[in-house]
Structure 1
Amino acid sequence: MPGPAKAGALIYAKDLERLSHFYQTLFSMRVLSADSERQVIESADIQLVIHAIPPRIASS
């Protein structure tokens, strides 16, 4: 995406890979960056930061 995103959101997820894949498929998004704790994905209109909930919190 050239320049800043038109809109953005931060989403917390129990299953980072699954939720990222869902949004990538649903909105034809692509991965900008990824590691074990977060993924940044974008389309022409929005950028999402999906952050993994720590396992000790997610299990409760």
Structure 2
Amino acid sequence: MTAPAPHGMVIYACNKAQMTAFYQRTLSLQLRASHDSHDLLAGPGLSLVIHAIPAAIAQQISLTTPPALREDTAIKPMFVVADLAIVRREAEATGGGLQPDSRVWQMNGHTVLDGWDPEGNIVQFQQVSPS
């Protein structure tokens, strides 16, 4: 059994399979375990659990396509990625998206762009800027 990565988070999802695909593909994570209630994704230094919201609760949550963005939450996860163009492609292929390139900004040697997952959670992606 592999030890968990030193950092991680749990994301609750109405559609576990779609959310797992989004995070697996945009962050290049490996599926380490899959159960009815949750999937475990892992990569260097990160464990991510996609946990299914119980059906009785999920039925009360209204999701739209495209998703309504949840911009008023107190937490926004941030991930460093190799290539924002690849993240955009994979996000769009799995029901999420990224802001247009005109919204890119720079911070601490990184090119930064916000996006969203298939259920509307805001996610920040950072690519190391070329020197």
TM-score (norm 2): 0.43
Pair 58,29 (structure 1): closer, same or farther in 2 beyond 3 Å: same
Letter aligned with residue 27 of structure 2: F
Say which SS state the counterpart of residue 11 (structure 1) adopts: strand
Match of 1:18 in 2: 18
TM-score (norm 1): 0.88
Match of 1:30 in 2: 30
Structure 1 vs Structure 2: percent identity of aligned residues?
32
CA distance in 2, matches of 1:5, 1:54: 26
Gaps of 5+ in 1: none
Count of aligned residue pairs for this structure pair: 59
Higher share in helix:
1
Match of 2:42 in 1: 42
CA distance in 2, matches of 1:56, 1:4: 30
Letter aligned with residue 55 of structure 1: A
Shift of 1:5: 1.1
Gaps of 5+ in 2: 61-131
* Greater C-alpha radius of gyration: 2
Pair 37,46 (structure 1): closer, same or farther in 2 beyond 3 Å: same
Say which SS state the counterpart of residue 36 (structure 2) adopts: coil
Letter aligned with residue 33 of structure 1: A
Structure with greater contact order relative to length (CA < 8 Å, sep ≥ 6): 1
